[in-house]
Amino acid sequence: MDQEIVLRAAKLREEINYHNYRYHTLDSPVISDAQFDALVDELRALEAAYPELITPDSPTQRVGGAPAEGFAKVEHPAPILSLDKASSRAELFAWHTRISKLLPEDAPPLAYTVEPKFDGLTVVLHYRQGQLVLGATRGDGLVGEDITANLRTVKTLPLRIPADPDGPQPPPYLVVRGEVLILLKDFDALNARLIEAGESPFANPRNAAAGSLRQLDPAITAQRPLHLYAYSIVTADGPVPATQQETLAYLRALGFAQPSEMAYFADLDAVADYCEQMIARRNTLPFEADGLVVKIDDLATQAALGVVGGRPRGAVAYKFPAQEATTTLRDVEFSVGRTGVITPTALLDPVLIAGVTVSRASLHNFDFIAERDIRIGDRVLVKRAGDVIPYVEGPVVDVRDGSQRLIEPPTTCPACGDPVVHPEGEIAYYCVNAACPAQLVQKLTYFTHVLDIEGLGERTAVQLVEQRLIQDPADLYFLTKESLLTLEGFADKKADNLLAAIAQAKDRPFDRVLAALGIRGVGVTVAQVLAEAFPTLDALAAAPAEVIASVEGIGPITAQNILTWFAHVHNRAMVEKLRQAGLKLAAERKAGVAGEQPLAGLTFVITGTLSRPRDDVKAWIEALGGKVAGSVSQKTSYLVVGADPGGSKYNRAQALNTPLLTEEQLYALAGSHP
Ligand code: IVH
């Protein structure tokens, strides 16, 4: 291979890693997103053409490799210790008194660092010659699990150190300890996305981080907003800093992220004051912390103090007071979501938790209830973290008096009474009645939310469903003023306004309409991706699952959900009603006159044998405004795949994530055939 290409790839990797670090870790990018994307595109294209150029530290490898069968065990180079705790100022001073007795009389005065005690997952990262070679979970402190493929997807985790070429050179072998977590702002967005896609949200950021990191499929991990903070060096085969404060600065210089809350004090009173201040402002931290870690700054002193019961004497966790309380679980309410998932919610005796009265709390799902053995009548521990919905952590089994009752999943839908279905391999229980009124209310409010139709809240939705004015969201377009006037609270003006708002929403772009259909897994973001790959709803409806799943960002489950959705006659009828009402079921073309030149602006490449002569198809595409090229490149809009396709075009399309079309889909896209 040309030496120039090898050098170019190396240069691109270095630049991309550096700009990634500027963007994600330092929050201070020096190039635009478009410039960044151009670098990544160039590297991807090179690696697609010359797969032997792919290195483990290549930024393209952050997307997640092949799913694992399980995780291999990894022995840690030194025990990954846990911490002793203090829960008050007095206990902090007691710790100090204990350790002072063990130090020589003439020892220099102690200094301390105070760090947040991140509530995430401990990870151990091995770097050889500056390259990340292994990343493991803590496990039992001696042996963890190899989760390297998943960790590579964490954007604030440097794949190579120093991340900034001007940074210090690390020793040939360096093992760093840190914590992987999800920032609160990202957690809210992640849950919003999951709810929108009809999936269950996570109870708290820690669970979300844990679930994401231990995914067997790194591609899923890659979609989760994981974040790494590093705070110590486990081992190194060269010189490293002698104090904790310098270690933090050194790790920062190597390219690891650290929060601004890392503090240093030469006096224990100042440490205690700082801890108390931090307790008061814990809810302003951008991540979840369950306390602070106070460490003796001098690492030789820390080491000399030794370890008792797996806990080093030279550091202590100053725990935040718990944001939790116990109360009685009186009953469980079942509600039916838009996709038919039945969700249990605990109804509690009201209890005050960190200033907020809590009377309802999440029970997540029925697996969780069974695992924790939560029963009606139980005394339960309820937690509240940040702004997250309070959730039941588990029962206090000791105080059971025999009156407690098991919580069984409902066998019939609480709204429509139809039998509940529990598909094999799934956690959720579903009401699968397409006409279930509770689902319909949720579908309707979701539809109006996504299409931005004002004036139709849940109360109106309930009435529309109860009065049987609506069988599916598309019926909104056939509502009359007379029928609206029969609803409670509807007078002339209100009815007119609602009808106007409904009519106005006919203008919403295709991707919004697609999202509004409420297909499981197809929220606003996924719909945008789909609308780019399939410019008409008919093209999507006609696509085989493999073709849908070949679109970047779309997994096989979502692809299957799309197929299943279109297989239902009710859903197809709804699509026809929307079409009749004049909603946009096709993307607006950037160039060309729609209708006459439906393929304007699109470039096609054809592989394999089509049912008509290739030249005819080519002429026909060109007549409709499209172009036909001989090989797949970044500019290719679609690869049209006929029978017995050639490998090279297909492989290149895969590498570039070029959307694929069957011959039939091409005709569906054009709305005609040669
Ligand atoms: S230092 C010898 N520092 O809290 C050093 N641990 O019970 C011992 N943790 O899971 C740990 N933030 O991984 C240290 N700033 C921090 C930490 C931290 C979170 C975790 C730690 C372990 C637990 C300790």
Residue 527 and residue 460 share a domain: yes
pLDDT grade, residue 674 (50/70/90)? Answer: confident
pLDDT band at 212 (very low <50, low <70, confident <90, very high): very high
- The reply to whether 412 falls in a domain is no
Pocket test for ligand 1, best of 112, 113, 122 (most atoms within 8 A of CB): 122
DSSP state of 201: P
Evaluate: CB of 141 within 6 angstroms of ligand 1.
Answer: no
At residue 309 the predicted structure's pLDDT band, cuts being 50, 70 and 90, is confident
278 has a pLDDT exceeding 80 = yes
pLDDT of 215 over the 60 cut = yes
Give percent above pLDDT 90 in the chain: 60
Query: Which of 258-267, 384-393, 517-526, 583-592 ranks highest by mean pLDDT?
Result: 258-267
For residue 196, what pLDDT is reported?
A: 67
Q: Do 524 and 470 sit in the same domain of this protein? A: yes
Distance CA 24, CA 256 (A): 10
- pLDDT band of residue 30 (cuts 50, 70, 90) is confident
Ligand 1 neighbourhood includes 179 CB (under 6 angstroms)? yes
Ligand 1 site, residue 21, Cβ cutoff 6 A: no
Nearest ligand 1 atom to alpha carbon 83: 7
Residue where a domain stops, chosen among 551, 585, 619? 585
Task: Respond yes or no: is residue 117 known to be catalytic.
Answer: yes
What pLDDT is stored for residue 34 in this prediction?
74
- The answer on 496 and 640 residing in a single domain is no
- Residue minimizing CA distance to atom 6 of ligand 1: 117
- Rounded to whole angstroms, the Cα distance separating 351 from 345 reads 16
* Domain identity same for 255 and 334: no
Contact 213, 121 (CB under 8 A): yes
Between the CA of 296 and the centroid of ligand 1 the distance, in Å, is 14
Is the pLDDT score of 543 beyond 60? yes
From CA 351, how far away is CA 141, in angstroms rounded?
37
Query: Does 73 have pLDDT greater than 60?
Result: yes
Q: Return the structure tokens found at 385.
A: 């973290």
Q: Is residue 658 predicted with pLDDT exceeding 90?
A: no
- 239 with 118, same domain: the answer is yes
500: how many CB neighbours lie within 10 A of its CB?
13
Token pair listed for 146: 């190899």
Q: For residue 65, what pLDDT band results from cuts at 50, 70 and 90?
A: low
> 235 Cβ partners below 8 Å, 6+ apart?
77, 78, 173, 174, 175
Residue 665 CB less than 6 A away from ligand 1: no
- Tell me: do 529 and 575 sit in the same domain: yes
Exposed / middle / buried, residue 411 (Cβ in 10 Å: 0-12, 13-18, 19+): exposed
The DSSP line for 98-110 is: HHHHHS-TTPPPP
Pair (204, 331) in one structural domain: no
Query: Among all chains, which residue has been given the structure tokens 């800093």?
Result: 241
Number of folded domains that form the chain? 5
- Identify the active-site residue in 73, 85, 101, 117: 117
The CB of 82 under 6 Å from ligand 1? The reply is yes
- Tell the residue number behind the tokens 């690696």, with chain if given: 47
Q: Which amino acid residue places its CA nearest to atom 4 of ligand 1? A: 117
Conformation bin of residue 418: beta by default, left when phi > 0, alpha when psi is -120 to 50: beta
Among 362, 385, 404, give the residue marking a domain's end: 404
Q: What percent of the chain has pLDDT over 70?
A: 96
Q: What DSSP element (H or E) covers 308?
A: strand 307-308
Burial of 187: CB neighbours in 10 Å, binned 0-12, 13-18, 19+:
buried
Residue nearest to atom 12 of ligand 1 (CA): 117
Distance from C-alpha of 44 to C-alpha of 39, rounded to nearest angstrom:
9
Question: Is residue 574 helix, strand or coil?
Answer: helix
Q: Taking 90 as the threshold, does the pLDDT of residue 266 lie above it? A: yes
What domain range is 400 assigned to?
A: 324-404
For residue 557, report the distance from its CA to the centre of ligand 1, in Å: 37
Q: Tell me, what's the pLDDT at 147?
A: 95
Which of 330-339, 520-529, 536-545 is least confident?
520-529
Q: Is the pLDDT of residue 536 over 80?
A: yes
Summarize the confidence of residues 464-487 as an average pLDDT.
95
- CATH code at position 166: 3.30.470.30
Ligand 1 contacts CB of residue 119 (under 6 A):
no
Q: Which amino acid is it at 223?
A: Q
- For the cut 90, the answer to whether the pLDDT of residue 22 exceeds it is no
Has residue 425 been placed in a domain?
no
Q: Is the residue at 417 inside a domain?
A: no
* 154-167 residue pLDDT tens: 999 999 999 999 99
pTM: 0.61
Protein residue with its CA nearest to atom 13 in ligand 1: 122
For ligand 1, whether the C-beta of 115 sits within 6 Å is: yes
Is-contact 14 8, C-beta < 8 A? no
- How many A from CA of 176 to the centre of ligand 1? 12
- 355: pLDDT strictly greater than 80: no
Please, which residues have CB within 8 angstroms of residue 520's CB and are 6 or more apart in sequence?
197, 198, 199, 339, 558, 561, 565
Q: pLDDT tens for residues 403-419? A: 999 999 999 999 999 99
Q: CB of 81 closer than 6 A to ligand 1?
A: yes
